[in-house]
Structure 1
């Protein structure tokens, strides 16, 4: 089947994309408004985009009623945000922060989350997250009406000690993080699952 995106409603295209690009890591983003209200929300249009400098990207879709979501507004206004990763034991709290709360209401309080002070920026980290990236906005690209890609430079990385195998060498016990990923449809996630490994090939020029 061939689908030309321009000939289909946005929600139809969204369904095709989220049903095929899986699993997707979840950025549990905490921001702080100029008024001091902490906003927390999960986003699965997210990934790392570079390491020199360390870079992440967030796809922030529009709110059907308000336009720009609080996360996007706060990032634009302050240039700061924290990407927290979601462990399985905090999945329910993450889901609670996806609620369509009114502007000015803190999802941090609604979900009973524990703030942890960041080191270099104002928005707090989430103590429930095993990994947090403190980020400053590199640039924001408006890709549609009230739809934004936020590219952030990672200033600092927090990893809970219990998930480190060798802190000095940066060895992380990745399976132990037990992170949740977004899947297809409404409310589907992935946790665990079988792993397999393939070595990356090295090119050898053919012998003459």
Structure 2
């Protein structure tokens, strides 16, 4: 992996001796399984707002991302710690000559449409100085996007190592490549859910401060899915989070787990407006003059 402007400024490890700090923490709770809970306030009614007023006791700080003395790395740290949790696209690619493969995690990944299945991935660095994964996608027009589960978290994280071009992250991590059907790059066999994807378009971002290319957004279409059998429901349209056990990215070097959830139905206005507490909140439109 090459060094980019941002990469040279980010202090990745906040601990002088990470293993010493880690040893002071409780062990990973493997016994925790995904479960559903109630919402914080099941008796919440329309118009009630937040469940407490603690937010009123705190002021907000306004930040201009391009303010005097503010560096891009400051915005980077702020955004990755504020926009959380972020899905991780564990992306597998192959070079245009077919001689080298690449595997790495990217937390600037999102699902943006389902018909067709569209994904976007953000990469640091411009088109003239791309990361290996970005270069491979732009040149070969294909990749696989894999979901990282708890049971191979260390191996997946190890693929983020700044290895030189030509050194395979597959070998370093010990993860297992599995043949894809519609694209050349392998999918991660350990992954509960993988997507074979093809390139559709990309956009290069330019820093307003320096005028230099700072990132590339690649738009991809999913053309084939792979789901572990025990994670899929009978209808073939829902993946069980208790089996998927996905990891997400938080700020700094912190990852997040998905161990519980709650359900909230989407309100339907025509039904809700019949309730007395909602009627009083809905003001009739004034007749146009």
- Calculate the TM-score normalised by the size of structure 1: 0.92
C-alpha RMSD of the superposition: 1.8
How much does 1:169 deviate?
4.0
Task: In structure 2, list runs of 5 or more residues that go unmatched.
Answer: 1-60, 207-212, 275-283, 285-289
Count of aligned residue pairs for this structure pair: 204
Counterparts of 1:173-192 in structure 2, within 5 Å, are 173-185=240-252, 187-192=253-258
Is 1:164 equivalent to 2:227 in the alignment?
no
How much does 1:104 deviate?
1.7
Helix, strand or coil at the partner of 1:162: helix
Is 1:74 equivalent to 2:140 in the alignment?
no
Is 1:4 equivalent to 2:72 in the alignment?
no
Helix, strand or coil at the partner of 1:165: coil
How much does 1:146 deviate?
4.9
How much does 1:112 deviate?
1.2
**In structure 2, C-alpha distance between the alignment counterparts of 1:169 and 1:25, rounded to whole Å:** 22
**In structure 2, C-alpha distance between the alignment counterparts of 1:170 and 1:18, rounded to whole Å:** 31
2:260 to 176, 194, 199: 194
**In structure 1, C-alpha distance between the alignment counterparts of 2:218 and 2:152, rounded to whole Å:** 25
> Would the aligned equivalents of 2:245 and 2:259 in 1 still touch at CA under 8 Å?
no
> Would the aligned equivalents of 1:25 and 1:47 in 2 still touch at CA under 8 Å?
yes
**In structure 1, C-alpha distance between the alignment counterparts of 2:79 and 2:86, rounded to whole Å:** 11
Q: Which residue of 1 aligns with 2:90?
A: 28
> Would the aligned equivalents of 1:31 and 1:39 in 2 still touch at CA under 8 Å?
yes
Q: Which residue of 1 aligns with 2:56?
A: none
Q: Which has the larger radius of gyration?
A: 2
Runs of 4+ in structure 1 off by over 6 angstroms are none
2:188 to 78, 102, 126: 126
How much does 1:191 deviate?
1.2
Task: In structure 1, list runs of 5 or more residues that go unmatched.
Answer: none
